[in-house]
Amino acid sequence: MKKTIELLKKHGELKVINEELDIYLEIPHLAYAEVKKENGGKAILFTNVVDKKSGTKFVEPVFMNVFGSYKRCELLFGRTIESVADEITNLLHMKPPEGLMGKVSMAKELFSLKNIFPKRLKGEGACQKIKYLNEDIDLYKLPVLTTWEQDGGPFITMGQVYTQSLDGEMVNLGMYRLQVYDKNHLGMHWQIHKDSSHFFDQYQKAGKKMPVSIAIGGDPLYTWCATAPLPYGVNELLMYGLITKTPAQLVKSLTTPLYIPKDVDYVIEGWVDTNALKIEGPFGDHTGYYTLEEPYPVMEVSAITMKKDRTFLATVVGKPPLEDKYMGWATGKIFFPLLKTTVPDLLDYHMPENAGFHNLILAKMQPLYKGHAKQFMHAFWGAGQMSFVKHAIFVDEKAPKLDNYQSFATYILNRFTPKSMFITEGILDALDHSSPETLVGGKLGIDATGANRVEEPNLLGDSELLEKVQELIPDAVKLHQFMRHTKNPITVISLNKTKAAKEYFDALVTLSTNIRIVVFVDDAKNDVTNPYMLIWRVTNNMDALRDVFVAGLMVGVDGTNKSSLDGFTREWPDDVDCTPSVVQTLKNKKLWDLNDNLYEKFQL
């Protein structure tokens, strides 16, 4: 961590804040504002950290927004992201060598691979210089942040969670939310599809407690590796060796059989009773919503160790854009070659951060036959973490770059008809709140690989169209049309909702010559002229099986909050919002310097 701080300082990527700030809301609110700035702002080192509730003053600094820009990602990787992807591609396509020089070249390449395997060392590491055991264990000695006002408590956001299978043959490094319940208990937010959850099932069936070691800090690449979507049973630290060309050097935990990198800043060790669950949450999450209270496993801490000179690494979650925008960018590029092994005709893909990654994927492919795009949809919805994607749009090789949103949207809308859509049901991320039941819900695929003949609508101005809409729907408040230059303009209507959105859609069918795609949102908390946050809201709130309507050439999408009006029986979570009094305190200290326009744009 010290090397990282110096590296970022050298490249002008570090902001140091020496003002006294609280781990409760103040520090995370500032980090949340910083990452919303152009190019992700700066990494922030908070050097004067306190817990005002307990009166604790921490000796260590808190380090945040470390990965929060494209530049910082490449600095931390020590090489271009593309070079890592190219190396994986070469490994996947390695062929028997021809001739002496080919054999020599392959020998060199294979010899370099010896460094990717983690190396287990004897003795203790720098991470174990300070030890807390038995009655001395106290999680409150760590500056764990509470990010949002409705959070169920403090939680560790950048924990490297090391686990192993019951037989010890497989190890996993993952990143999960870790709630601090008290001085020696942590909640394990192991969603049902995660590797650690599979290991948990093994220990539970055997009636045994499960060992866990959690590391914080060290080389930031350890933390990135914890997010890497590798196949089940593959040690994520192999990626560390591949990227750095040096093996991760590991030492054994003091009270569990697990090995952790010797140079991390903190290690929290413990055991999970597989027969005892506890309510975890609620917590503001990267969806921009609070995830609700649910039972999850609990770890009883058996040891806490740390470096003498340590730094506490943390991140902040909430509405986009966040630090995961940049981490996800690196992940997407690096693992593209692995995804192509499942779908070889895939040319490129992109997951916009304002759709929360899993809520929308844009993909470019080489269509070879009728139905090829639908085949891709099934492949994506059955491939590892891609199976949690809710909405997928496929285009052919002639389409613009996937991150050129204006041109990309134009390309799709000029060839879209309702028959372009494919709606099915499948598994969803545990964080999804919109489906009628947890973990399973509607999925929408759009095949824009072929150009359909599209009738152009009779366009009206916003004010004239709103007038006509309000005659049919008195609950309509505001209206704005996007992409008017295309054959399928998108009309966004905000509502003071008193009935199910399907009834509003049915009422608008008489305007089908003027409207092609209509999207409904609640008037409260939505700006019908802000496409960035509308995409965030709608992709979060819709379940394709319930919320997509078709009448002739007209398509409707319900992006409103769901309630009993919609037959929705689950609890609907609140938005993640900043606490105004905390923002004002930071302004009074002259630390909050986020432009008011950005504050409004990102609906903080």
pLDDT in tens, 494-542: 999 999 999 999 999 999 999 999 999 999 999 999 999 999 999 999 9
pLDDT above 80 (res 251)? yes
Number of H helices, E strands in the chain: 18, 31
- Taking residues 339-361, report their average pLDDT: 88
* pLDDT score, position 96: 58
Q: 11, 16, 71, 19: which is closest to 50 by C-alpha?
A: 19
> Which of 20-24, 49-53, 455-459 comes out lowest in average pLDDT?
455-459
The Cα–Cα gap between 239 and 228 comes to 8
**Is the Cβ–Cβ distance between 520 and 493 less than 8 Å?**
yes
Task: Report the percent of the chain where pLDDT is more than 90.
Answer: 81
Q: What is the pTM of this model?
A: 0.93
Considering the chain, what percentage of its residues have pLDDT values greater than 70? Answer: 96
**Taking CA 432 as the corner, what is the angle to CA 490 and CA 577, rounded to the nearest 5 degrees?**
80
User: In which band, very low, low, confident or very high, does the pLDDT at 380 lie, cut at 50, 70 and 90?
Assistant: confident
The four Cα atoms 263, 139, 313, 388 give a dihedral, to 10 degrees, of 110
Delimit the domains of the chain by residue range. Answer: 2-78+117-313, 344-448, 462-566
Residue 98 has pLDDT above 80, yes or no: no
With bands split at pLDDT 50, 70 and 90, how would you rate the model's confidence at 215?
Answer: very high
The answer on pLDDT for 339 being more than 90 is no
Single-letter amino acid code for the residue at 384: G
Looking at the predicted structure, is the pLDDT value of residue 275 above 80? yes
**Cα separation of 442 and 21, whole Å?**
44
Q: So what's the pLDDT on residue 157?
A: 95
Q: Return all residues near 23 (Cβ < 8 A) that are at least 6 apart.
A: 49, 50, 51, 58, 62, 143, 144, 145, 146, 154
pLDDT in tens, 351-368: 999 988 789 999 999 999
The CATH homologous superfamily to which domain 344-448 belongs is UbiD C-terminal domain-like (3.40.1670.10)
With a cut of 70, say whether residue 105 has pLDDT above it. no
Computed over every residue of the chain, the mean pLDDT equals 92
Q: Which CATH architecture has domain 2-78+117-313?
A: Roll (2.30)
**pLDDT digits 0-9 by tens, 443-474:** 999 999 988 888 889 999 999 999 999 999 99
The mean per-residue pLDDT over the stretch 147-153 comes to 95
Measured at the CA of 224, the angle between CA 220 and CA 229, to 5 degrees, comes to 165
Residues 149-174 have a mean pLDDT of: 94
How far does CA 110 lie from the centroid of its chain? 34
Q: Quick one: pLDDT band at residue 196, thresholds 50, 70, 90? A: confident
Per-residue pLDDT for 104 more than 70?
Answer: no
User: Which of 252, 250, 253 shows the shortest CA–CA distance to 299?
Assistant: 253
Q: Go through the chain and tell me how many residues it has.
A: 604
Please determine whether the domains at 2-78+117-313 and 344-448 fall in the same fold group of CATH: no
Judged against a pLDDT cut of 70, whether residue 107 lies above it is answered with no
Distance CA 510, CA 472 (A): 9
d(CA 299, CA 49): 26
User: What burial class does residue 572 get, using C-beta atoms within 10 Å of its C-beta: 0-12 exposed, 13-18 middle, 19+ buried?
Assistant: middle
Name the nearest CA neighbour of 187 among 177, 172, 175, 197.
Answer: 177
Burial class of residue 444 (count of CB atoms within 10 Å of its CB; 0-12, 13-18, 19+): buried
pLDDT at 112: 56
Does pLDDT of 106 surpass 50?
Answer: no
Residue-level pLDDT at 93: 55
Looking up tokens 């090397």 gives 3
CATH classification (class only), 462-566:
alpha beta
Task: Check if the beta carbon of residue 333 is closer than 8 Å to that of residue 81.
Answer: yes
